[in-house]
């Protein structure tokens, strides 16, 4: 519960509060508006913590990351893993964790990884190319950083935990100028070793004025013993104490509570996780700020920015924050605090609210409420429109995918952008084999004769119907197609073509077979007509010879047979006439 600055009158504080309150409401409203535009694509992000779930620092980092990436408008699936270091640091543990991740995330493709604190950072430096090749990384909470760490690591950037040891010591000296010694509580964990490098650099600034000593290598009980007998000209600088030499682990709350209870002198720090449990204060770095900054950097990379071009952020150094109760405990004056300091547990006083100010606030709240309601209404309308559009698209796609005819679209250059599944049934090709290719691919040369005319008609906004083309199927057999197409016009220009293609191969084959049958019938009719004359001529000769050379009885028998043959020829002539009528009827109806 952070309160008021270290100085200032009540009325100014109240007006400042009102301005902040209205600003927060505006920010909330802005986020509500932004949330109305939710992208469909989901991106996977892994947040890898060095420590464990429930540790206040890790939880604060997670809250900061979530404050950016959990917005529905960002479309991010956030996976969270905890290495649980240094509580568990047995031989082979890190290698086993790498094997676990290799199996656990074999089927998941990450778009980005965020790692928090030294252990996770060092883990990824060693296993990144093996476990997550090509995935960009954003780190945060890294206490000691050198640019050389990224020499062989592309697509990695982040936020250095640039806590301000010098700023915190300066604040302690401002509150008590008689301080001559700083006792640093620190362990030998990866984080502790990084901490001490930072403290050593700060010690050079105070050389000759302050003695800076470290608890490094001592057990927690030994540290408590040394703290309990510190002289009055000393202050405690609490860095990190996660694990003592015998392997016993401690969390933030346990450490600050014990240190504060044992210490006869003020305890300062550089992280806000200790605040409220016995820490006097200092220039405090926030885990949530680290997580928020990492989330914002990650969001830019997810939106297309290259991690290699994003500079490492090294200036996130926190806010001067102090505990009023601890200042009172050690008799430290609030007036000696750095300008702009934030105070917690400070006593509150009654504030009179001016009527004009209250009126402005109420009007602003009403306006903001109306704005939020309006935005809610527009969001609902937009969602209904999106649902209707999605249903329409699903219906169209269902029709296209179930149609026996080929449904297609092209771009302005005549390249296929969509072919329905029936393309496979008609041609034997998968639609994907033709998407992106010209619609002239696979057509016979006769198409070239009419393509210019058809393309000209489409470019001028006219539809074409019944365009007959021939395409060679995958098995090289010809498929006769009939195309009906119309242009897609945008601002008077053809942006593409949409149409339907029908397979008329069977119909063309039936028409060809029918024409061949008609031709054969015509030949048969002509042959029947000629056959009658060819038979009657020899028959007349036979009758004449029988009349001259045969007896009357034999001649009569020949004449009788000739009459029978002649009657048959008459029937053939009548059949020829009827066949011509049938042929004419079929041609007329066919």
- Neighbour-count burial for 102-133, b at 16+ CB within 10 Å, e otherwise: eeebeeeebbbbbbbbbbbbbbbbebbeebbe
Token look-up 């949409």 returns: 498
Task: Please report which confidence band the pLDDT of residue 144 belongs to, taking 50, 70 and 90 as the band edges.
Answer: confident
What is the fold of 165-284?
Rossmann fold (3.40.50)
**Which tokens sit at 84?**
């649980």
Q: What is the CATH number of domain 38-162+288-312?
A: 3.40.50.2300
Q: What's the pLDDT tens digit per position in 374-429?
A: 988 888 888 888 777 777 666 666 666 667 788 989 998 888 899 888 888 888 88
Is the per-residue pLDDT at 457 higher than 80? yes
Q: DSSP assignment, residue 352? A: P
Report the candidate in 252, 284, 291, 315 with the shortest Cα–Cα distance to residue 60. Answer: 291
Q: Is the pLDDT higher at 423 or at 10?
A: 423
pTM of the model: 0.49
Residue 72 DSSP label: G
Quick one: average pLDDT of 276-302?
94
Which ranges of 6-116 would DSSP assign to H, the alpha helix? 10-34, 56-69, 93-104
Give the separation between CA 434 and CA 196, rounded to whole angstroms. Answer: 64
Q: Going by DSSP bridges, is the β-strand pair 43-49/112-116 parallel, antiparallel, or unpaired?
A: parallel
Extents of the domains making up the chain? 38-162+288-312, 165-284, 403-503, 508-589
Output phi, psi for 299, to 5 deg: -60, -40
Which CATH number is correct for 403-503, 3.40.50.620, 3.40.190.10, 2.60.120.260, 3.30.450.20?
A: 3.30.450.20
Q: What are phi and psi of 501, to 5 degrees?
A: -120, 130
Integer Cα distance of 131 and 418 in angstroms: 37
Q: How far is CA 385 from CA 318, 368, 379, in A?
A: 46, 25, 10
Q: Tokens 């519960």 correspond to what residue?
A: 1
397-418 b/e with 16+ CB inside 10 Å = b? eeebeeeebbbbbbeeeeebee
Q: What's the rounded mean pLDDT across residues 187-211? A: 89
* 310-363 confidence digits (pLDDT tens): 999 988 778 999 999 999 999 999 999 999 999 999 887 555 567 778 888 889
User: Nearest-CA neighbor of 217 among 190, 188, 241?
Assistant: 188
d(CA 465, CA 462): 10
Residue 440 · residue 451 · CB < 8 Å: yes
- Cα-Cα-Cα-Cα dihedral of 145, 151, 154, 158, to 10°? 10
Collapse the DSSP code of 38 into the 3-class scheme (helix H, G, I; strand E, B; otherwise coil) and give the result: coil
Mean pLDDT (the chain) is 83
pLDDT band per the 50, 70, 90 thresholds, residue 538? confident
How much of the chain exceeds pLDDT 70, in percent? 84
Q: What is the dihedral of CA 99, 103, 106, 112, to 10 degrees?
A: -50
21-25, 128-132, 517-521: which has the minimum mean pLDDT?
Answer: 21-25
- Within this chain, domains 38-162+288-312 and 165-284 share the same CATH topology: yes
DSSP secondary structure letter of residue 403: -
- Mean of the pLDDT values across residues 210-239? 94
CA 480 to chain centre: 43
Token reading at 316: 């996130």
User: How many Å apart are CA 489 and CA 471, to the nearest integer?
Assistant: 27
Burial 139-157 (b: 16+ CB within 10 A, else e): bbbbbbbeeebbeeeebbb
Could you tell me whether strands 319-323 and 342-344 are parallel, antiparallel, or unpaired per DSSP bridges?
A: parallel
């Amino acid at each position: 519960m952070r309160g008021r600055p270290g100085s200032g009158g009540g009325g100014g504080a109240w007006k400042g509060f009102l301005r902040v309150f209205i600003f927060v409401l505006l920010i909330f409203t802005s986020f509500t508006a932004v949330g109305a535009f939710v992208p469909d694509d989901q991106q996977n992000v892994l947040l890898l913590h060095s420590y464990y779930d429930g540790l206040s620092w890790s939880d604060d980092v997670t809250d900061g990351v979530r404050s950016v990436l959990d917005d529905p408008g960002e479309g991010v699936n956030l996976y969270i893993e905890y290495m649980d270091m240094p509580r568990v640091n047995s031989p082979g543990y890190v290698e086993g964790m790498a094997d676990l991740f290799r199996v656990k995330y074999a089927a998941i493709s990450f778009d980005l990884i965020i790692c928090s604190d030294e252990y996770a950072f060092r883990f990824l430096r060693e296993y990144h190319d093996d476990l997550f090749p090509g995935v960009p990384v954003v780190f945060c909470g890294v206490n000691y950083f050198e640019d050389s760490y990224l020499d062989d690591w592309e697509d990695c950037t982040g936020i250095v935990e640039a806590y301000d040891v010098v700023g915190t010591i300066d604040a302690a000296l401002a509150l008590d100028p008689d301080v001559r010694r700083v006792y640093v509580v620190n362990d030998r964990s990866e984080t502790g070793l990084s901490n001490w490098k930072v403290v050593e650099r700060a010690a050079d600034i105070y050389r000759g004025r302050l003695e800076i000593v470290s608890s490094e290598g001592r057990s927690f009980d030994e540290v408590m013993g040394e703290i309990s007998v510190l002289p009055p000209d000393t202050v405690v600088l609490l860095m990190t104490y996660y694990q003592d030499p015998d392997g016993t682990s401690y969390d933030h709350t346990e450490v600050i509570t014990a240190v504060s209870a044992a210490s006869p002198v003020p305890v300062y720090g550089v992280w806000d996780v200790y605040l409220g449990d016995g820490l006097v204060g200092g220039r405090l770095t926030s885990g949530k700020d680290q997580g928020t900054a990492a989330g914002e950097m990650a969001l830019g990379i997810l939106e297309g920015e290259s991690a290699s071009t994003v500079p490492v952020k090294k200036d996130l150094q926190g806010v001067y924050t102090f505990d009023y109760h601890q200042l009172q405990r050690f008799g430290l004056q609030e007036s000696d605090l750095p300008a702009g300091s934030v105070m917690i547990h400070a006593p509150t006083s009654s504030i009179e609210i001016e009527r004009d100010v209250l009126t402005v606030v109420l009007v602003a709240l009403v306006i903001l409420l109306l704005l939020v309601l309006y935005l809610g209404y527009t969001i609902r309308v937009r969602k209904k429109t999106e649902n209707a559009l999605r249903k329409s698209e699903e219906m169209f796609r269902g029709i296209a995918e179930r149609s026996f005819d080929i449904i297609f679209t092209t771009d302005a250059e005549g390249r296929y952008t969509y072919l329905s599944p029936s393309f496979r049934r008609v041609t034997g090709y998968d639609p994907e084999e033709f998407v992106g290719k010209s619609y002239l691919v696979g057509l016979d040369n006769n198409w070239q004769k009419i393509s210019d005319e058809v393309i000209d008609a489409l470019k001028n906004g006219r539809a074409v119907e019944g365009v007959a083309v021939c395409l060679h199927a995958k098995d090289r057999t010809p498929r006769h197609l009939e195309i009906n197409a119309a242009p897609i016009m945008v601002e008077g220009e053809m942006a593409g073509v949409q149409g339907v293609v029908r397979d008329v191969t069977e119909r063309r084959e039936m028409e060809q077979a029918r024409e061949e049958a008609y031709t054969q019938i015509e030949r048969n009719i002509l042959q029947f007509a000629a056959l009658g004359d060819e038979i009657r001529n020899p028959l007349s000769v036979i009758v004449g010879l029988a009349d001259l050379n045969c007896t009357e009885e034999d001649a009569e028998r020949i004449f009788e047979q000739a009459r029978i043959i002649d009657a048959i020829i008459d029937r053939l002539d009548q059949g020829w006439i009827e066949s011509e009528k049938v042929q004419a009827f079929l041609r007329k109806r066919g």
